[in-house]
């Protein structure tokens, strides 16, 4: 299998990928129920000879490509959902939906994976095993990958001759406007953080604002907790096993002359190891309980578990790095020095299958990376030409894993 030939085939598929991407970009859908996106995916892979199933609880699409010979299965993931936000890019294919935008590039992921499916279907004779295409909804906080796993994503069953065909590798690509276009960026080990929600409600005693001594004002207690959380992170958490706790919302009161009964603070907790994740949760509970008790107030603390830490398998990450080097050249493959504090529900897949997630640079040409709009911005724009690299990378990972 020539990587150069795969790259040329991917380039030939770029036009179709751009058209599919723009169709999805104009009609973004949020969450787990993405009927128009699902229909576009099914149309894009129709006629490729894949065994296709759709989700029961979600709009997920699973497509299985049988190779010419028996062997293991490799999973390729592309997430499909958009974000609930207005688009201000000014593109001629901007979102037609007022409060939805593909601001994280998932439309490119779908288009690249569909292109890879077409490329690999044409190379069925080279495959000793199977390719499992995972078109996933609900990555943006809706646990779409977990739902697909619960519905049997990895239960691919035996090969048609009855031989075992387990999923032995998993690979995903995520575009980003923060890296030069066409570069592949990844690392072995921890790649992305866990992401949990923390909500602390301080229960005091309401009263007149002119007589705080007759009430128990929850607001300064909540403010004390916010400040103490910052000290906790810098003084209780190992700087080499970092955590981020950001309180992003404070809600209390109704007017200027009434001390409210309660105050609520709401934020996010990010860590890059599971043991530290538990330590931060425990520390937050002790802090909130202690400060509330010191003031004679009541407190309720709720920590909602989000995505786990995303950990790239060291062996598979090394393999993916070599494949990327073959596809784009060593100068465009970069080993990330540190994890990032964003989160990904591909983490659920990587807990069960050795694999890796890689970032594909798609910064608009000629733009200063220091000022380019990042993912999740209402003005983010991606270089569509980078999708040819993504198609080739998806396909090459599958071909070489099954070689």
Question: What residue spans define the domains of the chain?
Answer: 3-193+309-401, 204-307
pLDDT for position 121:
98
pLDDT for position 183:
98
pLDDT classification of 96: cutoffs 50, 70, 90:
very high
Element (H, E) at 39: helix 35-45
pLDDT classification of 61: cutoffs 50, 70, 90:
very high
pLDDT classification of 3: cutoffs 50, 70, 90:
confident
pLDDT classification of 387: cutoffs 50, 70, 90:
very high
At 123-163, the pLDDT tens digits run 999 999 999 999 999 999 999 999 999 999 999 999 999 99
Q: Is 390's pLDDT higher than 90?
A: yes
Q: Which two tokens stand for residue 259?
A: 């001390």
Residues near 150 by beta carbon (within 8 Å), at least 6 away in sequence:
none
Can you give the pTM of this predicted structure? 0.94
pLDDT for position 11:
98
Q: Which residues are catalytically annotated?
A: 307, 384
Q: Which two tokens stand for residue 370?
A: 């220091």
Name the percent of the chain lying above pLDDT 70: 100
- Which residues is 262 bridged to in the sheet? 203
Q: Which two tokens stand for residue 310?
A: 């995303």
The CATH class given to the 204-307 domain equals alpha beta
Our measurement of the distance from residue 66's CA atom to the centroid of its chain's CA atoms, rounded to an integer in Å, reads 28
Name the percent of the chain lying above pLDDT 90: 98
Residues near 354 by beta carbon (within 8 Å), at least 6 away in sequence:
168, 169, 170, 313, 315, 316
pLDDT for position 21:
98
Q: Is 354's pLDDT higher than 80?
A: yes
DSSP 99-161: T-B-TTSHHHHHHHHHHHHHHHHTTGGG-EEEEEEEEE--TTTS-HHHHHHHTTTT-----TT
* CA-to-CA separations, 15 to 39, 359, 393, in angstroms, rounded: 20, 22, 17
pLDDT classification of 1: cutoffs 50, 70, 90:
low
> How large is the average pLDDT for residues 77-96?
97
Contact 38, 61 (CB under 8 A): yes
Look up the CATH number of domain 3-193+309-401: 3.40.630.10
């Amino acid at each position: 299998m020539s990587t150069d030939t795969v790259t040329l085939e991917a380039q030939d598929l770029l036009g179709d990928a751009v058209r599919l991407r723009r169709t999805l970009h104009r009609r973004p859908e949020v969450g787990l129920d993405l009927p128009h996106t699902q229909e576009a995916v099914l149309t894009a892979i129709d006629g490729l000879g894949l065994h296709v199933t759709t989700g029961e609880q979600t709009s997920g699409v699973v497509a299985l490509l049988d190779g010419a010979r028996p062997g293991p299965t490799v999973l390729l993931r592309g997430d499909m959902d958009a974000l609930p936000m207005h688009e201000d890019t000014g593109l001629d294919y901007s979102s037609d939906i007022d409060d939805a935008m593909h601001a994280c590039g998932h439309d490119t992921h779908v288009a690249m994976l569909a292109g890879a499916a077409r490329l690999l279907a044409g190379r069925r004779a080279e495959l000793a095993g199977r390719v499992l295409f995972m078109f996933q909804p609900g990555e943006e906080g809706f646990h779409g990958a977990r739902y697909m796993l619960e519905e049997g994503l990895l239960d691919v069953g035996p090969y048609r001759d009855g031989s075992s065909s387990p999923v032995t590798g998993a690979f995903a690509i995520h575009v980003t406007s923060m890296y030069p276009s066409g570069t592949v960026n990844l690392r072995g080990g921890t790649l992305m953080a866990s992401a949990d929600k923390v909500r602390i409600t301080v229960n005091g005693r309401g009263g007149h604002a002119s007589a705080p001594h007759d009430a128990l004002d929850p607001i300064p207690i909540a403010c004390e907790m916010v400040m103490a959380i910052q000290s906790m992170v810098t003084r209780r958490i190992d700087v080499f096993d970092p955590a981020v706790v950001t309180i992003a919302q404070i809600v209390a009161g109704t007017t200027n002359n009434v001390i409210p009964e309660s105050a609520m603070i709401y934020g996010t907790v990010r860590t890059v190891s599971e043991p530290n994740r538990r330590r931060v949760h425990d520390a937050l509970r002790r802090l909130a309980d202690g400060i509330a008790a010191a003031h004679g107030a009541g407190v309720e603390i709720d920590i909602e578990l989000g995505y786990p830490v995303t950990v790239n398998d060291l062996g598979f990450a090394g393999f993916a790095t070599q494949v990327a080097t073959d596809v784009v050249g060593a100068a465009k493959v970069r080993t990330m020095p540190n994890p990032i504090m964003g989160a990904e529900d591909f983490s659920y897949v990587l807990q069960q299958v050795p694999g890796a997630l890689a970032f594909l640079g798609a910064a608009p040409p000629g733009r200063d990376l220091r000022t380019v709009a990042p993912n999740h911005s209402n003005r983010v724009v991606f270089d569509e030409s980078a999708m040819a690299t993504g198609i080739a990378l998806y396909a090459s990972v599958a071909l070489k894993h099954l070689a």
